Amino acid sequence: MGYSSVLRPDIFNDHNMVVTGGGSGIGRCSAHELAALGAHVVIIGRKPEKLKTVVAEIIEDGGSASYYTCDIRDEDKVRETVSTIIKEHGPIHGLVNNAGGQYPAPLAAINKKGWDAVIATNLTGGFLMAREVFTQCMNTRGGSIVNIVADMWGGMPGMGHSGAARAGMVNLTQTAAVEWGPCGVRVNAVAPGWIMSSGLDTYDEFTKQTIKGLKHHVPLQRLATEAEVSSVISFLLCDGSAFINGDTIKIDGGAPLGGSNFPLPKTKPSKMYNGFHRYSIPEVLKDDFE
């Protein structure tokens, strides 16, 4: 049993794809799908333990993968890592800027250290990765970059630092699409809404209780799987999206639409797609699937 992608199995043969934050969640799922589609996948993260596990999974499934440890907030380390990847594996055809992180807090409780850390991870790090991949490779060969942002339209109360960084990344995506488009480089973004990813289990107990009720605020009456995000990422990296540039695709089930004046009825959840054969439901949501 392997990954069941909606795309053609050989679509990324002889391609090198880089996925930051590839040790868990959406990054891990995307790495598996890209490998199943023929790519050699390079995953990047700060700590090697999770990266080693994902690489071993991909190889066990018959795919090709390698990993590099890198703090994407460190400019010199990013430059060195991208250079090493190109020397050891050849040109980079696609970059998934997935690495990120945040913590719940109201704006008044966020100090400068916490603010800077979230901005550096969710905005500056993505910029550094994209810039180095472009200047060291894609500026002469073309390619595709997909930035992972968040569903922050209408504000992001309780995570204002992350919302500001993600909004900045959307604008960065648009700017890069214009500046780098003449070099044959497409830059797009995906904005996941509420995703049933392993990251949900890292929050405090109050936030976990809130997570359990999120499905009732989504017209489709459920949360998304990681594979429903990965499939869009994979599409944006392939030739089938060759004229999509500077766009941000929302993957949120329509959650931001409507409003309190149109309360949603509690109905049967919509049909779910999950092609990831190694996926497991986050602990916080397992009651919904028993």
Would you state the pLDDT for residue 1? 75
Query: Does some domain include residue 148?
Result: yes
Query: Does some domain include residue 3?
Result: no
Query: Does some domain include residue 1?
Result: no
> How many CA atoms within 13 Å lie on the side-chain side of 25?
21
Contact between 55 and 66 (Cβ < 8 Å): yes
Show the DSSP H helices in 90-198 as ranges.
112-119, 125-133, 139-141, 160-180
Q: What is the pLDDT along the chain (290 residues), one digit of tens a residue?
A: 799 999 999 999 999 999 999 999 999 999 999 999 999 999 999 999 999 999 999 999 999 999 999 999 999 999 999 999 999 999 999 999 999 988 889 999 999 999 999 999 999 999 999 999 999 999 999 999 999 999 999 899 999 999 999 999 999 999 999 999 999 999 999 999 999 998 888 888 888 888 999 999 999 999 999 999 999 999 999 999 999 999 999 999 999 998 777 888 889 999 999 999 999 999 989 888 86
∠ Cα 163 47 14 (to 5°):
85
Q: How many distinct structural domains can be found in the chain?
A: 1
Would you state the pLDDT for residue 290? 64
Query: Does some domain include residue 9?
Result: no
CATH number at residue 113: 3.40.50.720
Query: Does some domain include residue 4?
Result: no
CA distance 149 to 269: 25
Would you state the pLDDT for residue 160? 96
